[in-house]
Structure formats: structure tokens, C-alpha cells
Structure 1
Amino acid sequence: MNELKSLEHATLKVPYEVFNKRYRNAQRVLDVEARQVGSAAGELDAATRKQSVTTGEIDTLLGGMVEKLTTMKRKASEAITEELQAAIVCKKRLEHLKEQAAALAEPSAPQAKPTSYTSQTSLNQWRKVRLDRLLVDYFLRTGYYESANKLADARGLRDLTNVDIYAAAAEVEAELKNKRTARCLQWCADNKSKLRKLNSNMEFKIRIQEFIELVREDKRLEAVRYAKKHFSTYEEDQLKDIQHCMGMLAFPKDTEVEPYRVLLCASRWAALVAQFRREHARLLHPAALGALGVLLQLGLAALHTPQCARAAEPACPACQPPLRALAARLPHAHVSHSRLLCRISRDPLNEHNHPMVLPNGQVYGEKALKEMMKEHGSIICPKTKEVFCMKRVEKVYVM
């Protein structure tokens, strides 16, 4: 359960935040509509108190009030529908996470033996669904939106993943790739408070790029006015970037002088796309690494030993490409109580399966060597292919 709490926090947090945001938006909209209805009711009440009021005026005021009530009802209905959709997603994700807890709890019940196979089957099925979810999340984080949508649709995981939320992010990315910033600035405005908590400089970088584009188009006076409007207030760490921008005004757009040449480079747009992708992922979950990356690193770290750097073991995932390159940067596994395993059968070497050493120094389990004797009539070392008889094999005692 600790693993679920730490790794699956975003699974429930994201739809809850969506639900909370829709609820607050609905409250603001309904408050505005309620004030308009109240204002219309006040006008109607004031008109009825007049002695010279006509039926036409009353009819017009009533029509306006009915129209405002109809609008309020429609918006309330839309808000309730959106909130219900978000609540249903929260419920489905919660039920999905509870499935693992139920599957793990069943074998520990007093009469759980007949159902242990069923519990393991359901647990394996849950893990398969979870792996698909993690893959979808990885695709979304790295910008493979089409692959994420196809996998989510094929496995029926739209409610268990954030593909619909990332659809808006994909549109913003497409706009940035086309060198348009309006959608990204709107996204920054919609999430201004959260981005400020994350110390994000996404909006500032977009403003810098808009200034650069004005300079690139030789609209230098307009660029100065733009700088006065958006760069008049700045953070301490932003001053250097602003100074570089203002220095661009003294150089032509095809300058080779640094750092102005880099600022005018078209590759900055790709950097903005990558930054927006990171900021959007941080907005949903502050962790820099997705759940798939965390689990992969945990698994490799548990298998990574100093032996992996000296000799690659065919049965060790941490020794095989491409995982070997990932495991090389991870710390070695800390095992306080290590176990010896037979390299043939992978069974533990203990008092029931004594370690046996061949004349060439290779150590294997007694059971595996006896099975080899029954099958081949001799012992063939899997590593050196040398052939030995059982009499030349000696028992090893580990202190």
C-alpha cells in the first residue's frame, strides 16, 4: 500500500483537481447568473410599484427574467454534467486502485486457499492494466500523443489515464511549433497561481521569444514598446535575459555575435516546446520523473551489482542492453542478507542444494549437476563447455 500511496498519488490527484476546478468555475458562473436574475427581479419589482406602468413593460421585463432564468438553468445543467463526468473518473480510478488491495488481502484470509489462484490471476490482470497505464503516461509525458491515444483506446483506459487532459497540451504544442504563442500565454494565465508555486518561468520565456520575433522582423520600435509593457517588472534572475534582449536592438538580425546569435536561432522554438511539455507534466504531478521511470529505476537498482560492470550475466536484466546503460548510472543494490543462487537452475544454494565446485573453478548447485548427470551421463560446464565426471566435483563450504 505504501507503493500505491507514493506512486499512484497523481492517479487520483489529477481527476480530483479537474473536478475541483470545474466546481469552482461553475460556482463563479452561477453567481454571475444569480446576480443577473436578482437584478431582473428587482427591476420587475420596481416597475410593479409604479402607477403608470403598462402591461407591455411588465411583459418585456418578465420575458427578460424568463430568458435569464433559462440561461441560468442551461449553464447549471452543463456544469452538473461536467462535474458528474469528473466524479465518475475519480470513482473509476479509485476502484481500480482498490482492486490491488483486495487481491493482496484475499490470500491472507483464514479460508483463502481455494481462492489463492483466483487472487493471483486478478492481481496479474491488475498489473497488466497498470503497465498499460504507465506506458500511456510515459507517451504523454514525452509528446507521443497519438501513440498514447491509440493504446488508451485499444485497452479501454481513457478514464484511467490523462489522455483527454493532455489533448489541450498537444494543441498548445502544435501552436508553438507553428511559432504562435497566444495559446501558450492563455494556458499560463489560466494556471498562473500554480505555476508561480512551481517557480515556473514559462510565461517569461514566451515573452522573451515574442520580443525576439519583433526584432527578427525589424520592428525595433514596437519591440521597445513591448519591453516597456512586459519587462518593466522582473525577478532578480531575469535581469540578465532582459539585458541580452535589449542588446539585440544594436545588432542586425543575422549577427554572429554571441549571445545574440543564439537568441535569434530558430531552435529556441523547439526548446520552448520541450519546456512547456515539462511544465505541463509538473503541473499535473510535481515529480520530475514519471511512474514508469521510477519503477524501472527501482527494479534495476535492486538488480545492479558491482559484478554487472565486470561481466555481463545473460540472465540479469541490468546487464542487458539497453537497460545496462540505464543501470550504469544507478547505485549498486544494498543487500544485508545475500543469497547464493545456482547459475543453471537459479535455485538457492543451501543445505538442501549444496554448492559444488568443478575442477575449473566454476560453482553450481548439486541438484542441477545431478540432473545433468542423469541426462548426459557427465557434467558439461555451461560456461567453458569442459566435460567432467561426478567424482571430480567437490562440495564447497561457505563461511
Structure 2
Amino acid sequence: MEMDSLPNGTAASPGPTLGPAPTAAGPPPSSKLSHLADSLKLEHQFLRVPFEYYKKTIRANHRVVEKEISAVINGVSEAADKNDMSSDDAVNHLSSLVSRLQGLKRKLEEGSKTEHLQAQRCRARLDHLESADVESLSEWNNTRVNRILVDYMLRMSYYDTAVKLAESRNIQDLVDIDVFQEAKKVIEALQNKDVGPALAWCAENKSRLKKSKSKFEFQLRLQEFIELVRAENNFIAITYARKYLAPWGTTHMKELQRVFVTVAYKSTTECATYKVLFEPKQWDYLVDQFKQEFCKLYGMTLEPLLNIYLQAGLSALKTPYCYDDDCTKEDPLSQEGFRKLALPLPYSKQHHSKLVCYITKELMDTENPPQVLPNGYVYSSKALEEMARKNDGKITCPRTGFICNYTDLVKAYIS
């Protein structure tokens, strides 16, 4: 937003000018500065996600290096301990170690490029936040709206649409498409009733999930056991339980006992306690649980940012009247989608009452003052004048059917 510059002197004064008139720009309004500061406070996730992804890549590369170096050192030690190794065997053994080191070098080069790109992304986001100022606030807010829309699309699994929007607005470095692509593989596998990718994800993030006391891996193991029981592979199911479920016995014994009973009841049971374990909705539950764990891992909000921003606005509009059947259509909360979003929100605190006409649903104020009928009901002047014009000066109360003349009305004053 450009600020109008003020001339330093009188524009109409005669005489030659020695140079361009100096200008003085006034300070930006304090309200805009406050709005900008509040906007930046909401950008925690914007920086946290790429940073967590960056750290995860570094840890993964570090594990690869440790594994490969350890294997090479063990290989050298084995070769050194063998006194009867022929020269050909020694050459072949050393060649395999060299090949392994060359493979490690290629992995490190690829890992270094990935780390560099992710570091650039973190830098790009810092630069984006630093570029926010009062003068370019409108453009900066437009970019933020696009980021929020991309975030919502990714969470709702509209990946292709999210990618196209990010590319069209040139904000690829400001959104987390690659992070959500990782989640996409796990979600699609769970929707196809395959826990393999989800278990691999748990193994990859085992330490952090353990620190947060996550039960997600346990729930996956239970579901895999249930699927074995469904297929009537009871012997394999019992072997699986001994290997993968027994370690959870100290902390989840009641849940294990309930699941183990399914071996006797089978998938055709009508017992409600065990029948629910075989229902398809258990897979939907796993998808929802994975999304929650995924968001926690990367420091994301559990709700989409779009929902959070909409709820912030709706919290200022929500009143008991919004849920009435005759709520005005101009009110966003007259729509079912917004009502659902606002359901957990408290009613807004209104310091001043607002009078809305029962007939027109329009606000009654000084330009459209309220008028009182002899029976005590109040309607707007606009509605009553229209009614009197159509009915030869007669007014009919829409609530009680009471009829009176327009001249019988009394004007009310809002204090």
C-alpha cells in the first residue's frame, strides 16, 4: 500500500524551485503494525515443518553412514583375521569393500544435495517472513491465503490440485508438498488394507514415536493379527502374536486379551464386543490415527490451517440467533458447513445488542429505525412502510395476525 507523500512547503507559493520538493512519509498506522505482528505469530508451523524434515534427512543420512562404515570395518577385520586367505580371495574381498564405499559415496552425494535443497527451503521461508511489511501486507496476505489453501488440499488428499496451485502461484518452497507425499504412500496403503508402509514409517521414526508414547505401531500390529484371524490362519496368528504383540503385554494387556479372544469367535461372530474388531471402519480409524501422529511428528496443527482461521472469524459472529431457522442468509452461520465448524466455539460476547427485523432480516438502526405496534411487537420502518403501501395503510402483525393502522405505530429509539 503506497502512502501519499506530503509536500514540504506551500505548493501555490511563487518563485523558482531549486530542486525537487522533499517529501515526508508518515509512519504506518499502529493498527496495521499490530495486525502484521499478529500474523507472524501464527507462522510457527510454516518454519517448523521444513526444519523437522531437514533434521529427519540428516538423521537418516547419518544412520546410512554408520551402517556402511561399520560393515566395511568388520569386513576389513575379518580379512585381517584370516591367515589362510589366498591373494585372489583377498583382492576380491577388498574389491567388494571398495565397491561398497563407492556406493556409500554416491549415497552421501545424493544425501548432501537433498540436505542442501531442504536448507534452501528453510532459508526461503525465513526470507519470506522477513519480507513482510506494512507496505506489501496485501500481497503477503494473498500468498498466505494460497499457502493455507495448499495445506488444506494436501490434508484432504487433493495432491494434484495442491501441486498445480503451488506451481501457478510460484510458492513451491513455501508449502510442504514433499512432506505430504511421504504421508500419501502410507495413507493409500492403509486404505488398501496394507500395514507394511505404515510399519516401515514407524520403524523409521521409532525413537520419536516412543518419546511421545504413541500407540500407533501397537494398533497396526493388532490389525494385522485381526486380518490373520479373518483369513482363518490361526496358527500363523498365534505365532505372530508371540513375536510382535507379546512385548506390549505389560502396558496393553486388556486390549490384547480382547483381541486374542477373536481366535475363538472368528470373523463371523455376532457378539458386538468382537464383531466391531472385524469391521472395515477399523482401517479408517488407523488412517485418522496416522494423520494425527504424522502431524505431531512434524509440529503441524491437527486441524487444517483453513479451519483454524475460519473458526477464528466465526467465533466473533456466533450468537444463539445464528442457529434459528429464520437466520438471515447474509450470516455465514446460516450455512451448514460453517455451523459445523463453529459448533465447538463459544458464543461471541456482544457489548451492544443488535436488533434484526423479523420480516426483512435486516438490521434496525438510525437509518431503518424500529417501530412498535399496539400489541408490543417491533418491526423495522422499512418493512412496515412497504406493508402499509400494499395494504392501504393497514399493518398486520406477522406473528399474531393483529391488524392496525400505520398511524397507530410508535417509533422506538435505540440507546
Tell me, yes or no, whether TM beats 0.5: yes
- Cα 1:243–1:70, aligned 2, differ >3 Å: closer, same or farther? closer
Aligned partner (choices 117, 126, 129) of residue 94 of structure 1: 126
Aligned to 1:312: 327
Aligned to 2:60: 25
- Cα 1:27–1:313, aligned 2, differ >3 Å: closer, same or farther? same
CA distance in 1, matches of 2:319, 2:371: 25
1:233 partner SS: helix
- Cα 1:60–1:251, aligned 2, differ >3 Å: closer, same or farther? closer
1:260 Cα deviation after fit = 2.3
Say whether 1:226 aligns with 2:258.
no
Specify every segment of 5 or more residues in structure 1 that has no aligned partner in the other structure, as ranges: 47-53, 105-118, 364-379
- Cα 1:194–1:133, aligned 2, differ >3 Å: closer, same or farther? same
Aligned partner (choices 204, 212, 228) of residue 218 of structure 2: 204
1:313 partner SS: coil
1:156 partner SS: coil
- Cα 1:5–1:234, aligned 2, differ >3 Å: closer, same or farther? farther
Alpha-carbon contact 1:10-1:285 (below 8 Å) kept: yes
- Cα 1:128–1:396, aligned 2, differ >3 Å: closer, same or farther? same
Q: CA RMSD in A?
A: 4.1
- Cα 1:384–1:98, aligned 2, differ >3 Å: closer, same or farther? farther
1:67 Cα deviation after fit = 5.5
Higher helix proportion, which one?
1
1:143 Cα deviation after fit = 3.0
1:86 Cα deviation after fit = 0.3
Say whether 1:85 aligns with 2:117.
yes
Counterpart of 1:223 in structure 2: which amino acid?
Answer: A
Aligned to 1:396: 413
Percent of aligned positions with the same letter in both sequences?
33
TM-score w.r.t. the length of structure 2 is 0.70
1:128 partner SS: helix
Q: What are the equivalent positions in structure 2 for 1:1-399 lying under 5 Å apart?
A: 3-4=38-39, 6-30=41-65, 70-71=102-103, 73-100=105-132, 102=133, 104=134, 119=135, 122-234=136-248, 238-285=252-299, 287-310=301-324, 311-336=326-351, 338=352, 356-358=369-371, 361-362=378-379, 381=382, 385-386=386-387, 396=413, 398=415
**Number of equivalenced pairs:** 350
Counterpart of 2:208 in structure 1: which amino acid?
Answer: K
User: What CA deviation, in whole Å up to 9, does each residue of 1:58-102 have, x standing for no partner?
Assistant: 9989978876665454333222211111011112222223333x1
2:271 partner SS: coil
TM-score w.r.t. the length of structure 1 is 0.72
Alpha-carbon contact 2:151-2:176 (below 8 Å) kept: yes
CA distance in 2, matches of 1:237, 1:283: 22
2:52 partner SS: helix
CA distance in 1, matches of 2:77, 2:230: 57
CA distance in 1, matches of 2:278, 2:127: 51
Counterpart of 1:13 in structure 2: which amino acid?
Answer: R
Alpha-carbon contact 2:208-2:297 (below 8 Å) kept: yes
Specify every segment of 5 or more residues in structure 2 that has no aligned partner in the other structure, as ranges: 1-35, 81-86, 394-406
Counterpart of 1:149 in structure 2: which amino acid?
Answer: V
Counterpart of 2:140 in structure 1: which amino acid?
Answer: W
Aligned to 1:110: none
CA distance in 2, matches of 1:65, 1:217: 45
CA distance in 2, matches of 1:318, 1:383: 27
1:250 partner SS: helix
User: What CA deviation, in whole Å up to 9, does each residue of 1:107-136 have, x standing for no partner?
Assistant: xxxxxxxxxxxx2xx322322222222122
Alpha-carbon contact 1:356-1:393 (below 8 Å) kept: no
- Cα 1:241–1:68, aligned 2, differ >3 Å: closer, same or farther? closer
User: What CA deviation, in whole Å up to 9, does each residue of 1:180-202 have, x standing for no partner?
Assistant: 22111000111122223333211
